[in-house]
């Protein structure tokens, strides 16, 4: 029985959303980009295992209410829309652990992740779709690979029927949204590995919207984390 319907019909749908928020991902001439005014709402996640608690700054003004420790997230914080520089800093520090210039749409909700790769700290900003799942008895999820050591990507499989769900999700990449029945369980493996890690069906409740992000534990196996957006 197929309990999954795809919320976005093509990979280009998510790419288009990503291009809206990361300045430079889809370049335009200055004349093509009107000035954006208004507010938006940002959640941020400390996704780096060896990181100190992180504070968030927009254009050098602190917007975080409290520092966010590893594997934790803030609430949605009101920020100004438009071209802004987002920086993360260790608690109490004056220098950034990572920064990025963002083109933030007015009225948007988005989540920014602090993570590292071989070149150092990175900001990954993703627009969030907070439209309630339809029907309301369903949940909506997406998957995000934040494990830089997973050089061949990650595979996600439905436990029921052992159906291959997503294959080769590369580091720094996010899937489209999927609408699922609550209670649907998954397992995740690093591509080329036989070691599977369970994502229990009890993780997902009706009416909720989730991002499941995965990094590596101390032995190099996938470690699963969940952000609840509503």
| CATH assignment of the domain containing 117 | 2.60.40
**Closest to 222 (Cα-Cα) out of 176, 181, 169, 182:** 169
Last residue of a domain, one of 127, 145, 180: 127
The answer on pLDDT for 106 being more than 70 is: yes
pLDDT at 9 over 60: no
Indicate the residue among 127, 144, 161 that finishes a domain. 127
98 and 165 in a single domain? The answer is no
For the CA atoms of 13, 79, 171, 162, the dihedral, rounded to the nearest 10 degrees, stands at -60
More confident residue, 27 or 182: 182
How far is residue 126 from each of residues 74, 114, 173, measured CA to CA in Å?
Answer: 15, 12, 10
Q: How far is CA 109 from the centre of its chain?
A: 12
Task: Give the total number of structural domains in the chain.
Answer: 2
Q: What is the pLDDT of residue 29?
A: 55
Which DSSP helix (H) or strand (E) runs through 124? Answer: strand 120-127
Instruction: Tell me the C-alpha to C-alpha distance, in Å, between residue 202 and each of 24, 59, 68, 139, 216.
Output: 39, 40, 25, 12, 22
- Contact predicate 96/87, CB 8 Å: yes
Alpha-carbon gap, residue 128 to 201, rounded angstroms? 22
Averaged pLDDT for residues 114-120: 93
Instruction: Reply yes or no on whether the pLDDT at 160 is more than 80.
Output: yes
Does residue 2 form part of some domain? no
- What are the backbone dihedrals phi and psi of residue 152, each rounded to the nearest 5 degrees, phi first? -100, 5
Residue 85 belongs to some domain of the structure: yes
Residues 64 and 152 in one domain: no
Q: What are phi and psi of 41, to 5 degrees?
A: -130, 125
Domain limits for position 66: 14-26+33-127
Continuous segment of H or E residues that includes residue 139: strand 139-145
Query: 114 with 150, same domain?
Result: no
Under DSSP, the state recorded for 193 is: -
Mean per-residue pLDDT of the chain: 87
Q: 158 and 186, same structural domain?
A: yes
Is residue 197 one of the residues assigned to a domain?
yes
**Which of 6-20, 47-61, 214-228 is least confident?**
6-20
Question: Is 3 part of a structural domain of the chain?
Answer: no
Q: Evaluate if residue 41 carries a pLDDT over 90.
A: yes
- Mean pLDDT computed over 216-229: 93
Given 93, 109, 127, which residue is the final one in a domain? 127
Helix residue ranges, H only, the chain: 11-21
Q: What is the pTM of this model?
A: 0.84
CB 126 within 8 A of CB 105: no
With cut-offs at 50, 70 and 90, classify the pLDDT of residue 20: very low
The residue that leads in pLDDT, 70 or 162, is: 70
Lowest mean pLDDT among 91-95, 138-142, 162-166, 206-210: 162-166
CA distances from 144 to 85, 89, 107, 177, 221 (A): 23, 23, 23, 11, 15
| Rounded Cα gap, residues 200 and 160, in angstroms | 11
Residues 39 and 109 in one domain: yes
Residue 167 pLDDT greater than 90, yes or no: yes
Output phi, psi for 2, to 5 deg. -85, 110
Question: 147 and 101 share a domain?
Answer: no
| Beta strand residue intervals within 3-95, DSSP E | 5-6, 39-46, 54-58, 61-62, 72-73, 77-80, 82-90
Q: How confident is the model at residue 11 (pLDDT cuts 50, 70, 90)?
A: very low
Residues 151 and 74 in one domain: no
Q: Quick check: is 153 in a domain?
A: yes
């Amino acid at each position: 029985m197929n309990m999954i319907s795809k919320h976005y019909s093509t990979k280009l749908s998510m790419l288009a959303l990503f291009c809206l928020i990361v300045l430079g991902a889809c370049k335009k001439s200055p004349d093509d980009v009107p000035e954006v005014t208004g507010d938006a709402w940002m959640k941020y996640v400390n996704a780096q295992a060896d990181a100190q608690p992180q504070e968030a700054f927009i254009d050098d003004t602190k917007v975080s209410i409290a520092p966010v420790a590893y594997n934790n997230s803030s609430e949605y914080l009101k920020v100004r829309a438009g071209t802004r520089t987002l920086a993360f800093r260790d608690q109490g520090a004056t220098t950034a652990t990572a920064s990025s210039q963002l083109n933030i749409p007015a009225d948007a909700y988005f989540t920014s992740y602090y993570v590292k790769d071989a070149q150092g700290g990175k900001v990954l900003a993703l627009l969030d779709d907070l439209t309630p799942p339809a029907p309301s008895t369903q949940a909506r999820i997406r998957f995000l690979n934040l494990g830089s050591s997973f050089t061949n990507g990650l595979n996600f499989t439905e436990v029921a029927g052992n159906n291959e769900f997503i294959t080769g999700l590369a580091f720094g990449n996010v899937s489209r949204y999927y609408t699922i029945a609550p209670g649907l369980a998954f397992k995740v493996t690093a591509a080329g590995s036989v070691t599977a890690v369970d994502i229990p069906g009890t993780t997902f409740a009706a009416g909720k919207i989730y991002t499941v992000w995965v990094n590596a534990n101390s032995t190099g196996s996938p470690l699963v984390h969940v952000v609840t957006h509503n």
